[in-house]
Structure 1
Amino acid sequence: MITQTEAIVLKTIKYGDSSHIVKVYTQDYGILSLIAASGGKKGKKTKSYFSALNVISIIIYYKEKQNLHRLKEVSYHNKNIEIGNHVGISAIKFFLAEVLNKLIAEEEINLDLYSFLKTKIDELNQTKSGLKYFHINFLYEISAYLGIKPNFCEEGQYFDLRDASLTNQLPQHGDYIDGLKLGLLKNYFCNGEKVNKIKVSQILDILIAFYNLHLGGLDHIKSREVMEVVFS
């Protein structure tokens, strides 16, 4: 059937000489993979819609239980979108799109998660300051929609990565944080303390380790290095 929905672009790969496969997170169907023509004048214009974390409106030929759906039409959801974002915004979008591509595997509808993503993308597009903190705030906040939000603001000497909670008892495993690293998390997420780029990277290391433990798949994020160079 032909259907229309909103979608957030997660990944685009070339398919043959004149097509692309686009992985999107949709409002009405969850994760979908689309095949889109990229040859010719119309195809080249279509390809421009599929930059990382673009929010688009799509009309597709949808078949239930099919892995690949053919794209019929595409347009920007926000007609006033600015093309050619700040290089820092683009770097963050590539990083977050790669992370989301690994974290979100569900095909079922999750309207709360979709709404969160759309809101945060709008915020990112309009961010004028504090850009270097956006990705760590995003990763902290999205955890609530994935059912594994850590609480760094309670009392406790140790943060148990497995339980996502603080405790005064030393965990009987190695997946915990204490000392200066725990202080860093508390100061940033609980007390609003600004941190330098080295500490931002340390916080990101901890968040990635946390997600790896619970969801897996974040061992190597290619776009991280580029993003950190942009903000160096």
Structure 2
Amino acid sequence: MLATTEGIILHLVKYGENSVIVNIYTKEFGRQAYMLNISSGKRSKNKAGFLQPLFLVDLVCYQKESRDVQRIKEIKNTPAYQNIPFDIAKSSQVIFLAEMLSKTLREQESAPPLFDFIKNSLLYLDLMEDHTASFHLWFLFRLTEYLGFLPDTQKTGFEGWLDMRKGEVVPFEPSHPFFFHKEATEALGTLASLKIREIRTLKISRNLRSYLTSKLVEYYQLHFEHLGEIKSLKVLHEIFA
């Protein structure tokens, strides 16, 4: 059947001389793989240019449940980012988040609230003028709610450590290594209370930001065995160092 949907580019791989297989998280069908012809010429170069990680697209596609790889009839970049492609800090965050999403979004079914969360968050990042360095922390924390493993950062009158295995703050340092130290737990509790427009108010050091990023990735790795190494994490650390 011929269908229309909004989509978010996850990643692509070249297939033959003139085609690519694009993994797209769609609003109507969840994660899908699509075959797209890329021939030579200026128009095709423009098409390939917007098949970048987490770019937003509208597409008309041939959708068939029995098929592993669907086909795209028409695709266009809309809405187009104004700043992300030209801002090294923002683009580095997007590449990092694209790798995280590509390895965690596996369901081939519609989840409009999750789709809207990702899309609206990216559009907000694109328009943020300053204090964007903690955006990826806020995004990864909020994403856990949609994926079903939101940690409980509430404390009841004690200083604590976030135990990643339990997914909650505990009053004693865990005997295993999967926990956030006390300063990071405190910062995560603050982050948990922020709305997206309040990200700029989070005041933390570069070292703490780097630590929180690594520990959030580790928290995801505990819930997704196939997550493996996040190659873009090292680049992200270097950009914000």
Task: Specify the alignment match of 1:88 in structure 2.
Answer: 89
Distance 2:232 2:180 in 1: 26
Q: What SS class does the counterpart of residue 34 from structure 2 fall into?
A: strand
Mapping of residues 67-146 of structure 1, within 5 Å: 67-78=68-79, 81-82=81-82, 84-146=85-147
Asked if 1:226 corresponds to 2:235, the answer is yes
The answer on whether the counterparts of 1:153 and 1:190 sit within 8 Å (CA) in structure 2 is: no
The answer on whether the counterparts of 2:60 and 2:73 sit within 8 Å (CA) in structure 1 is: yes
Asked if 1:49 corresponds to 2:58, the answer is no
Task: Specify the alignment match of 2:10 in structure 1.
Answer: 10
The answer on whether the counterparts of 1:9 and 1:52 sit within 8 Å (CA) in structure 2 is: yes
Please report the TM-score for the alignment, with normalisation by the length of structure 2: 0.86
Q: What SS class does the counterpart of residue 128 from structure 1 fall into?
A: coil
Task: Specify the alignment match of 2:164 in structure 1.
Answer: 161
The answer on whether the counterparts of 1:158 and 1:178 sit within 8 Å (CA) in structure 2 is: yes
Q: Deviations over 1:195-231 (max 9, x none)?
A: 1211101001111111111123343111122222222
Q: Deviations over 1:20-74 (max 9, x none)?
A: 1110100000000011112222432221221111110001111113110111111
Please report the TM-score for the alignment, with normalisation by the length of structure 1: 0.90
Distance 1:82 1:102 in 2: 27
Instruction: Percent identity, please.
Output: 26
Structure 1 residue 88 displacement after superposition: 1.5
Which shifted more, 181-190 or 65-74? 181-190
Task: Summarize the Cα distance change of 1:36–1:127 in structure 2 as closer, same or farther, 3 Å threshold.
Answer: same
Q: What SS class does the counterpart of residue 119 from structure 2 fall into?
A: helix
Distance 2:124 2:223 in 1: 27
Which shifted more, 49-58 or 153-162? 153-162
Distance 1:13 1:28 in 2: 23
Q: What SS class does the counterpart of residue 32 from structure 2 fall into?
A: strand
The answer on whether the counterparts of 2:60 and 2:72 sit within 8 Å (CA) in structure 1 is: yes
Task: Specify the alignment match of 1:202 in structure 2.
Answer: 211
| Structure 1 residue identity aligned to 2:51 | F
Q: Deviations over 1:127-155 (max 9, x none)?
A: 11111111111101111111111122323
Q: What SS class does the counterpart of residue 118 from structure 2 fall into?
A: helix
Q: Deviations over 1:95-143 (max 9, x none)?
A: 1101100111111111110010011010111111111111111101111
The answer on whether the counterparts of 1:9 and 1:54 sit within 8 Å (CA) in structure 2 is: yes
Q: What SS class does the counterpart of residue 43 from structure 1 fall into?
A: helix
Aligned residues: 231
Q: Deviations over 1:147-170 (max 9, x none)?
A: 111122323534221221123366
The answer on whether the counterparts of 1:188 and 1:195 sit within 8 Å (CA) in structure 2 is: no
Distance 2:168 2:213 in 1: 18
Q: Which runs of 5+ in 1 are unaligned?
A: none
| Structure 2 residue identity aligned to 1:69 | Q
